[in-house]
Homo-oligomer: A and B are copies of this chain.
């Protein structure tokens, strides 16, 4: 049996676990693949940082490594767009299969990588790019390939879910919860990519592309993070039986003329506490899928961490290595639907709006008129307090985002409304 020869890009938190699993499970993996898996090169920036790795396979020349004709599979766990993009293109172009955990690269340049893989007949696998150890790419790409997915909603960022769960459990502020997350290692020193939703947006782009057979890049994803979520909003959500979660939402719409379109977006939402996703706490991830034939599915598990991510990488590695042994290859890019991508303005959402109002006759009528004029239908209204601190809480039915945003602007300009204090999207059974 000729060994399948692996080149590893990166030996950090994930890469070191990939090496460990390859070593401790060598015999099992050989049996599953039909040939031994041999790591012939590990490309890193500072070899002296890796005393446990055989110096003979350590290299700083990643470009030379991916070009080596004797490397059958390149495993990329270094992250970032450059130089990962050029390295993987080089590998794919010469026919090496690629296993990558690089969500940003796939979200921005997926079609380019697919095209290179296609030209040479190589495999491109990326289970670890979304939701860590949770098998979600393969189920969407393969298990559900005979079905029609209408919606994907995911908690795909563990940092933000940890922070929101902590705020919910303790009532503390965003800043305090972020500090605690940083102290415990759930948030990075610069948490921007996580808390502002960039990480989740890249994953939303990948999920939407696969689910809807349509190219969706990170730039197509509407994005809001959680840094503006307040303790008061968390409390208000609980009052109406909801939890606030940062969701990646990918939806398929069917217009009145039958034309289909899709949307991908990341923002905080109020979700009924009874929804399966509302019960996912801490750093866990979960992805909820609605498909026409399959119905409602949910996948749950650890969304990050060296060892869980390495498990996903290894699963892909076994498949692409086995394909090298027996011939054949995995699924190619599936983008034949190429549905139009809706701007956020046109997407139907629901709003929770809380506002401080003057306690005088006719306020509710004025407020209701504001909604009506924008064609926004009201689901519930609740009035709290009296005189100086009267509060009105409105939850709308579904309406185009632009109409809702316009309504908020109009409300803010009303004399009777002292201040719109909180606006949050609501997701539930009603679209």
Contact = CB atoms under 8 A, between A and B. Distances in A.
Size band of the A side of the interface? 35 or more
A419 interface: no
A293 B319 contact: no
Nearest to A284: B296
B301 A145 contact: no
User: Which of A147, A291, A292, A305 has the most C-beta atoms of chain B within 10 angstroms of its own C-beta?
Assistant: A147
Interface stretch (A127-135, A229-237, A244-252, A367-375): A127-135
B294 A302 contact: yes
A12 interface: no
B146 A142 contact: no
A274 to B, nearest CB: 10
B28 A134 contact: no
Count the copies.
Answer: 2
Interface in A172-191: none
Interface in A11-42: 17, 21, 25, 28-29, 31-32
Contacts of A397: none
Given A133-B295, A326-B328, A146 B31 contact: no
Interface stretch (A160-168, A330-338, A345-353, A404-412): A330-338
Contact of A293 (B31, B308, B329): B308
Interface string A273-313: 00010010000000000011111111111100101101111
List of 8 A-B pairs having minimum Cβ-Cβ separation, nearest first: A328-B328, A146-B314, A135-B143, A133-B294, A293-B311, A297-B301, A294-B311, A135-B139
